[in-house]
Amino acid sequence: MSKVAVVYWSSTGNTESMANAVADGAKEAGAEVTVFETADFEAAKVDEFDAIAFGCPAMGDEVLEEDEFEPMFSSCEEKLSGKKIGLFGSYGWGDGDWMHNWEAKCKEDGAVLVADGVICQEEPDDEAVENCKALGKALA
């Protein structure tokens, strides 16, 4: 059984809802899933999982949340080469620049992105929930 971690940061709950849907999709596909809030995950845990979904909304000016998530994610980056990962997050406006930059960074790290990053505007609707579940399945 593959082990999947879902690691997310969320302020108003939108990315948290996405994280739960990603976890549901991975579970439905038979994976053993652990969901972590940002503060509970660290680089040392990366090797414990076959695949990791990272979720963070667009914050600042089209960047990852800078106080908690970005430092945690940065510390994980050196361990992501060859790792199956998926990205997701909610945003408020614009074209999803934060996600495009994040995907590019992960590719530079040598991570294996199992799918395009899943984004949705504010609260996930039914389609976004299905996209999150599909991401979870792809990681399982």
| Dist CA 135 CA 66 (whole Å) | 25
Stretch that binds ligand FMN, among 29-37, 51-59, 75-83, 101-109 (CB under 6 A): 51-59
Site size with ligand FMN, rule: CB under 6 A = 19
**Does 53 contact ligand FMN by CB under 6 A?**
no
Selection from 95, 68, 77, 72 nearest residue 11 by Cα? 68
Residue 90 or 140: the one with the smaller Cβ distance to ligand FMN is 90
List the one residue from 1, 47, 61, 127 that touches ligand FMN (CB under 6 A): 61
**Does 20 contact ligand FMN by CB under 6 A?**
no
Kindly write down the DSSP assignment for every residue of 82-139, as one continuous string. Answer: T-EEEEEEEESSTT-HHHHHHHHHHHHTT-EESSPPEEEESS--HHHHHHHHHHHHHH
On whether the CB atoms of residues 52 and 8 are closer than 8 A, the answer is no
List the one residue from 48, 92, 101, 125 that touches ligand FMN (CB under 6 A): 92
**Does 80 contact ligand FMN by CB under 6 A?**
no
Task: Note the residues at the interface with ligand FMN (CB under 6 A).
Answer: 10-16, 57-62, 90-94, 122
